[in-house]
Amino acid sequence: MNRTCLAVILAAGDSTRMKSSMSKVLHPIAGLPMIAHVMRAVRAAGMRDAVLVVGRDAETVTKAGSIPDMTVSAVLQTERRGTGHAVLMAREAIAKGYDDLLVTYGDVPHVRPETFLEARAKLAEGADLVVIGFHAANPFGYGRLLVENGALIAIREEKDATDEERKVTWCNSGLMVINGARALGWLEKIGNTNAKGEYYLTDIVEIARADGGSVVAIDAPEAELAGCNTRVELALLERMWQDRRRDDIMLSGVTMIAPETVFLSYDTRIEPDVLIEPNVVFGPGVTVEAGAVIHAFSHLEGAHVAKGATVGPFARLRPGANLGEGAKVGNFCEVKKAEIGAGAKVNHLSYIGDAFVGAGSNIGAGTITCNYDGVNKHETRIGDNAFIGSNSALVAPVTIGSGAYIASGSVITDDVPDDALAFGRARQEVKPERARLVRERALALKAAKKQARSPDAKADR
């Protein structure tokens, strides 16, 4: 679209009903603040310039709403005097003379760029004001869009509507696009002669019509335009996002046995022919390549899982975990900032952190890379085709050579050369008959304690 457009995003609300210590637009959907979802849609619709109208948590909201390839500025709204007043906080930017002006909200994370583009296309076709509406299953409380002969004549609030007007189910979302050449003049004509003494953006419809402007409305799905005022609505928005994204991923060729139990992040990338079992959580920054299997009750964040690798069940991949092709991280294992080479196995009850594990190596159950000395982190390097016996502790910094063998139960503090066998444990001693004597002494002590608690013993005292 060869038209310039300024996006004004209203994000200054007090978030009272959220009962939150932070602005509602900072609450995440799929791991990304709501306002960032809105900004991604704005950017995808081709807009390069935006103004955030901020209030509470202004600096944090501005940071969350700033995305690459966009010029984003912020203006502080210190008084809450209605939506019309909020848009005029961006007066200086509006006056620069963009072809189009988009007004949207920071708490509508499901809005699609296609909806913005459809509204702007109406401006390109000759409309001066385009309101984005939706058909509500329950329209109570919403402003109604009143249309005659294809033109929008008014937005009637619930309290002001007649009985007949309340039957209208086409409702106002609050989102609109305005002819940039006429926007500022119309916005400045909005008055506050109402019960609340506020400047309502919806009044621009009748102002534009009175000035000879062409005013129309377009329709979008109700779910797409849903906003957020409470924690209940936040959970609903999350569920809607997850349902839609799961469907997209399954249609791309991924199998989910129980999709309703799998939770994804905004940037999760999963290739075809991946199998995901129930109760898996993907935090931000995860890529899973074709043919991998993510077993049940696993949690992945900031991790890369290569082709044919398997994870879990009950495994945790933390940021920096990188599994090579055909690698395996099994049950009750944790991997952090570690490279697990092709075909390597970390099967049971192990922690591998700040480490490199070479291709084909086997990490026995209960192995720990002791990477933290209380102040600094240190690296463990394990070569190809090494065998680390169960219940071993590798005290970093340490290097285990290719083909090396670490005996079970060892504490390894020194480097081990290629193909060497290393023991790091006390020598076993066997004491004949000692077990029987220890057991008899323990039984005698137990019997003495029982006798001391008996009624007869208490009576004697």
What is the rounded CA–CA span in Å between residue 159 and residue 4? 37
Query: Which residue is catalytic, options 85, 299, 348, 378?
Result: 348
DSSP state of 315: -
Catalytic, 85? Answer no
Of the candidates 264, 265, 267, the residue with the CA atom closest to the CA atom of residue 276 = 264
Asked whether the beta carbons of 120 and 5 are under 8 A apart, the reply is yes
Which 3 state secondary structure label does DSSP give 122? helix
Of the candidates 36, 3, 39, 233, the residue with the CA atom closest to the CA atom of residue 130 = 3
Lookup: tokens for 178:
């305005």
- As a whole number of angstroms, the longest Cα–Cα distance in the chain is 108
Q: Which amino acid is at 27?
A: H
DSSP state of 256: E
What is the rounded CA–CA span in Å between residue 7 and residue 352? 47
Give the Cβ contact number of residue 435 at 10 Å.
10
What is the rounded CA–CA span in Å between residue 8 and residue 358? 52
Lookup: tokens for 417:
């050369």
Give the Cβ contact number of residue 378 at 10 Å.
16
What would the DSSP string read from start to end of 50-78? EEEEEBTBHHHHHHHH--TT-EEEEEE--
Which residues are known catalytic residues?
348
